[in-house]
Amino acid sequence: MSNMPESPALEPERGVYANRTLNLRSVRAIGYDMDYTLIHYRSDEWEHAAFRHACRVLDAGGYPVHDVTFDPDYLQGLVIDLDRGNLIKATRFGYVIQAQHGTRQLSFDELRSTYAGVAVDLADPRYRFMNTMFTISEAALYAQLVDRLDAGIIPGPLGYDELYRVVSAALDESHTTGALKAEIVADPDRFCDLDPDTAQTLIDQRLAGKRLLLITNSDWTYTRAMMSYAFDRYVPSGSWRDLFDIVVVAAAKPRFFSQNEPAFRVVDPERALLQPHHGPFETGEVYHGGCAQHVEQSMQLTGDEILYVGDHLFGDVHVTKSALRWRTALIMRELEAEIADAAKFAPQESQLRRLMADKVELEDRLAYARLARLRRIEGDDTGPTSVESLESLREALRALDERIAPLARAAGELGSATWGPLMRAGNDKSLFARQVEKYADVYTSRVSNLGRRTPFAFLRAARTSLPHDIVPIERAPEHAPEQLEPDQ
């Protein structure tokens, strides 16, 4: 545990990034999600375990899963196209830039013929947005079963959408039945990646007068075991319970944020005995269910005084923002690798920008030269007397493209080797990034990053960029476009 606060050098991977300015001083209560927020899981281990459990469920249902294997190279932020059995990556406008059918990547021509004119609308039931880490096993399993359905190994008739429901139900079953959770509780070191600074972050927030809540969908037995494992050793009193004013388990988010559900009080922590609860939530107690409005009323706070911190784009931040106007922070651990990769790639990135600027200039010169040639053929001699050679301009463009191609390819392979970065899709922001900017006031890789900024930080949104912004391109002389001989 760190002792005296100091202003640390803030490396970009551990930054807190604001879409909308958030002054932590005006936040009076902070609610935390547990899974993948306060407790980070090694997602390969967890997802692999969930995958195995789901396969057992499917095997019992007669599905041919004996030879499927877990492939962790899927990203959250992809979309499943239930009409076609495809996994797709889309830009912020919903344009599909990459797709695979089953486990096979579509070629450029297939992609164009399938998705030209399609804009993915997440409200359309045709699409399933993979918006948590828990969807990695789902994508891995679904893709392989699509292959088997196409090969006629799965007895039909069964559509790609029905197949998805089968896979999804098997995974839900593995998450809700006790076997997977028992496996994790029995060997938490294998599944959890503990961050000792998380407890200090919460302790500091309490010192600064903020009230803390744990609001998790997990049940009491699992929550208690995991929170005790992850926090008791870092809390001076030895009990994680002292970090929180109110604990809500089995919260049933996102319904918790949008509906008025009854609350129960956990009256016997050992046996998880419940009693219906009326009246305000009281400090020091554990509740089962209930709703966010009840939290607001109990603490006599308004939505903009409460910050909710979670990793689930829909369940934790989307509904929270639209139904209640709570302030929201999204935790996304993948950001650390994504930023580190981008930092390593920075020299190539600036070279790529320079080459692209050169390309724009060459393309303009080519366009002018073509027009001038047309006018000359028509006998108009009012234009420029010296016209660049079309052939040399085209040749220069070809040479430039050859230098751009490997850099552009490398930029698209940052992050997942198959799917590229989470927040970008080609040159654009990804559909996932668009959801993040819409619903998360701030986003960061882990809870302790909030601690590094202190409970008093003013998290200021950066000035956003627009296509007409003036961005100086730093040009090294050797990259200036060559002067070409005029057309003789």
Nearer to Mg ion, 138 or 311 (CB): 311
Per-residue DSSP letter, 89 = E
Place of tokens 């016209």: 387
35 in contact with Mg ion (CB under 5 A): yes
| Site track for Mg ion across 90-129, x = CB under 5 A | ----------------------------------------
Stretch that binds Mg ion, among 27-35, 47-55, 252-260, 381-389 (CB under 5 A): 27-35
47 in contact with Mg ion (CB under 5 A): no
- Closest distance between Mg ion and the C-beta of residue 440, in Å? 14
**b/e sequence 205-216, b meaning 16+ C-beta within 10 Å:** bbeeebbbbbbb
Among 14, 19, 22, 36, binds Mg ion (CB under 5 A): 36
Q: How far is CA 77 from CA 43, 88, 114, 208, 310, in A?
A: 15, 9, 20, 35, 16
Nearer to Mg ion, 411 or 447 (CB): 447
Residues in contact with Mg ion, counted by CB under 5 A, come to a total of 4
CA distance 444 to 270: 35
- Closest distance between Mg ion and the C-beta of residue 345, in Å? 30
Which token pair is 463? 């000035």
- Closest distance between Mg ion and the C-beta of residue 217, in Å? 8
Contact of 29 with 213, CB cutoff 8 Å = yes
Residue nearest to Mg ion (CB): 35
Nearer to Mg ion, 188 or 481 (CB): 188
Picking from 24, 27, 5, the residue whose alpha carbon sits closest to that of residue 458 is: 24
33 in contact with Mg ion (CB under 5 A): yes
Contact of 327 with 296, CB cutoff 8 Å = no
- Closest distance between Mg ion and the C-beta of residue 331, in Å? 8
- Closest distance between Mg ion and the C-beta of residue 36, in Å? 4
> What is the maximum alpha-carbon separation in the chain?
96
Angle at 322 between CA 320 and CA 325, to 5 degrees: 65
Which token pair is 145? 């079963």
Nearer to Mg ion, 33 or 358 (CB): 33
- Closest distance between Mg ion and the C-beta of residue 196, in Å? 20
Stretch that binds Mg ion, among 35-43, 162-170, 246-254, 259-267 (CB under 5 A): 35-43
Cβ-based neighbour number of residue 137 at 10 Å: 29
- Closest distance between Mg ion and the C-beta of residue 214, in Å? 11
| Site track for Mg ion across 294-333, x = CB under 5 A | -----------------x----------------------
- Closest distance between Mg ion and the C-beta of residue 6, in Å? 31
Nearer to Mg ion, 143 or 215 (CB): 215
- Closest distance between Mg ion and the C-beta of residue 11, in Å? 25
- β-strand partners of 286: 247
Ranges of H-type helices in 187-291: 188-191, 197-207, 220-231, 255-258
CA distance 364 to 393: 10
Contact of 331 with 447, CB cutoff 8 Å = yes
Nearer to Mg ion, 175 or 375 (CB): 175
Contact of 326 with 292, CB cutoff 8 Å = yes
Nearer to Mg ion, 102 or 310 (CB): 310
Per CB under 5 A, residues contacting Mg ion are 33, 35-36, 311
